[in-house]
Amino acid sequence: MSTKVPIVENVLKLNDEMAIQNQRLFQQTGVFVVDLIGAPGAGKTALLELTLRQLKGVLDIGVIVGDPATCRDGDRLAKHSEHIVQVNTGSGCHLDANQIRHAMNKLKLADLDLLIIENVGNLICPVSFNLGQNCKVGMFSVSEGDDKAAKHPNLVVSADALILNKIDLLPYIPFDLECFRQDVAHLNRTAPLLEISVARNQAKAWLDWLTENAKRPEHLTKSN
């Protein structure tokens, strides 16, 4: 296994080169791109359904959605937008810049204000792969437990915003909210922590953050 680290570095270097090309294409068409990263079941697709519904008429939004298998997420989102592309990664645990290149070619980028990439449900590998996005959003949920920010520091440190979903479950699950907030603040002092409940349709903090940044992307400086 001694060859593993250089191999990984090589894959990441190739990926970075392609991500820079993606970034140029995104800039040329004026679309703001968010890479949304969270565990399986954090509620990413449900959040995007809500987002597409609530921001209809405010922003023209496309989604590239990654999953190991099935088109279930793509089908769910296609009810709310015609700008949806599903990528199946098979045994791949993340989206890479090459997959995004192929997917973005299926979208009319010039028609979009905002493109959200729903990454494969995984808190680890997607963090290492630049896709050419403007910003990275890390998504956790109450049902995963209050230790998940501390256990996934690479995601928290690199994120421009962090979401804590399923706060409606706080009465039913042991979750130390103050401890979670402190772990996040300890790792990342600038990213806002957006506490929401998609199930209860309470996601104003996220919608406000998204709308403001999509309209004024120069305020974000971290990703890329």
Name the residues that contact a second copy, by CB under 8 A.
Answer: 1, 3-4, 7, 10-11, 14-15, 18, 39-41, 67-70, 72, 91-93, 96-98, 120-125, 127-128, 141, 143-145, 147-148, 150-154, 166, 169, 172-174, 199
For a second copy, the closer CB: 14 or 20: 14
For a second copy, the closer CB: 97 or 214: 97
Q: Least Å distance between CB 33 and a second copy? A: 19
Q: What is the CB-side half-sphere exposure of residue 25 using CA atoms within 13 A?
A: 18
For a second copy, the closer CB: 55 or 132: 132
Q: Least Å distance between CB 67 and a second copy? A: 6
Amino acid at 117: I
Q: Least Å distance between CB 26 and a second copy? A: 19
Q: Least Å distance between CB 219 and a second copy? A: 28
Number of H helices, E strands in the chain: 8, 7
Give alpha helix (H) positions in the chain: 4-29, 44-54, 72-78, 97-104, 148-151, 153-158, 177-187, 204-215
For a second copy, the closer CB: 105 or 108: 105
Which tokens sit at 77?
């989102």
Helices 97-104 and 4-29, interaxial angle, to 10°?
30
